[in-house]
């Protein structure tokens, strides 16, 4: 763990933060256009953590104390990992209308809509990063992992295969709809070397 923390030295961390900030700016613009409403994206936070600490790390966040819906979308290529989108259950049917589901919104509509939003959010967050760093990724269809669970029930160390992961946490709020979502991007341990390479390349070019 120490070693990994050292690998992500300050320069590299600053570079990554810079890349991510630009990416979020772009994502915010595109999302606002798509939803035609103001979208608030938080400044992404990084954690580098041991999987065993993951639960504690996540439980610190009050937003995860309530019952939530959890979706995930794996990605692979030069970076490997999973995007996890966590939704609170507010404003879901309004959001469905916003996403172009007309008439009575069935629970299947609602689920598909959440999957849409999940892959939009994860795509928006990652595409900005990958295009700046010239990384190629491919995505698998998102799935609903669980509805009405809590974080503690979900992220238990036994169900996660990696030892260390980098988590990037982004909060998205659609004020008008009381809709809140948190996106967690997990990068697996074996994605660290290629990511560091790309960051170094970028640093050299400056």
Partner 1 sequence: MDEKISRLINMAVSQINAGMVIIDSDRNIIFWNRFMQIHSGIAEGDIEGKNLFELFPDLKGSGIEKKIDSVFLLKNLAFTSWEYRPYLFKFANTHSVIGAEEWMQQDCTFSPLIDEAGTVTHICLSVFDSTNTATYQNKLLRASSSLIKQRNKLATINQKLEEAQNQLLQSEKMAAVGQLAAGVAHEINNPVGYVNSNISTLESYLDELMQMLAAYEACEPALDESSELTKAMMLTKETIDLDYLKEDLVNLIKESKEGLDRVKKILQDLKDFSHVDESDWQFSDLHKGLDSTLNVVSNEIKYKAEVVKHYGDIPEIKCLSSQINQVFMNLLVNAAHAIESHGTITITTNIEGEGISIAIEDTGSGIPEDKLPRIFEPFFTTKPVGSGTGLGLSLSYNIIHKHDGKITVKSEPGKGTKFQVWLPHNPPEQPIQ
Bridging pattern class, strands 45-50 and 164-174:
antiparallel
Establish if 172 lies at the interface with partner 1 (CB under 8 A).
Answer: no
Alpha-carbon distance of 32 to 50, in angstroms, equals 35
Establish if 205 lies at the interface with partner 1 (CB under 8 A).
Answer: no
Pick from 5, 9, 21, 33 the residue near partner 1 by CB under 8 A.
33
CB of 25 to partner 1, least distance (A): 13
Alpha-carbon distance of 155 to 141, in angstroms, equals 21
Residues from 42 through 101 that contact partner 1 (CB under 8 A): 96, 99-101
For residues 155 and 162, is the Cβ–Cβ distance under 8 A? Answer: no
CB of 137 to partner 1, least distance (A): 10
Q: How many CB atoms lie within 10 A of CB 90?
A: 13
Of the candidates 60, 56, 68, 51, the one whose C-alpha atom is nearest the C-alpha of residue 186 is 51
CB of 185 to partner 1, least distance (A): 14
Q: What are phi and psi of 8, to 5 degrees?
A: -90, 70
Pick from 108, 159, 161, 206 the residue near partner 1 by CB under 8 A.
108
Q: For the chain, what is the largest distance between any 2 Cα atoms, rounded to a whole number of angstroms? A: 55
Q: Between residues 101 and 177, which has the closer beta carbon with respect to partner 1?
A: 101
CB of 126 to partner 1, least distance (A): 8
Binding residues (CB under 8 A) for partner 1: these are 27, 30-31, 33-34, 96, 99-103, 108-109, 111-113, 115-116, 119-120, 122-124, 127, 131, 139, 141-142
């Amino acid at each position: 763990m120490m070693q990994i923390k050292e690998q992500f030295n300050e320069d590299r961390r600053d570079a990554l933060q810079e890349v991510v900030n630009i990416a979020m700016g772009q994502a915010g613009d595109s999302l606002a256009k798509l939803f035609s409403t103001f979208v608030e994206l938080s400044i992404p936070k990084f954690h580098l953590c041991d999987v065993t600490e993951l639960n504690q790390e996540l439980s610190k966040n009050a937003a995860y104390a309530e019952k939530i819906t959890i979706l995930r979308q794996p990605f692979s290529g030069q970076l490997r990992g999973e995007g996890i989108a966590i939704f609170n259950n507010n404003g879901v049917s309004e959001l469905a209308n916003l996403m172009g589901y007309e008439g009575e919104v069935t629970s299947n509509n609602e689920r598909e809509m959440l999957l849409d939003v999940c892959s939009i959010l994860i795509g928006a967050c990652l595409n900005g990063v990958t295009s700046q760093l010239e990384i190629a990724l491919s995505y698998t269809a998102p799935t609903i992992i669980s509805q009405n669970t809590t974080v503690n029930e979900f992220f238990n160390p036994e169900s996660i295969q990696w030892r260390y992961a980098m988590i990037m946490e982004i909060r998205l709020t659609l004020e008008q709809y009381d809709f809140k979502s948190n996106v967690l991007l997990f990068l697996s341990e074996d994605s660290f070397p290629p990511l560091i390479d790309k960051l170094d390349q970028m640093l050299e070019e400056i």
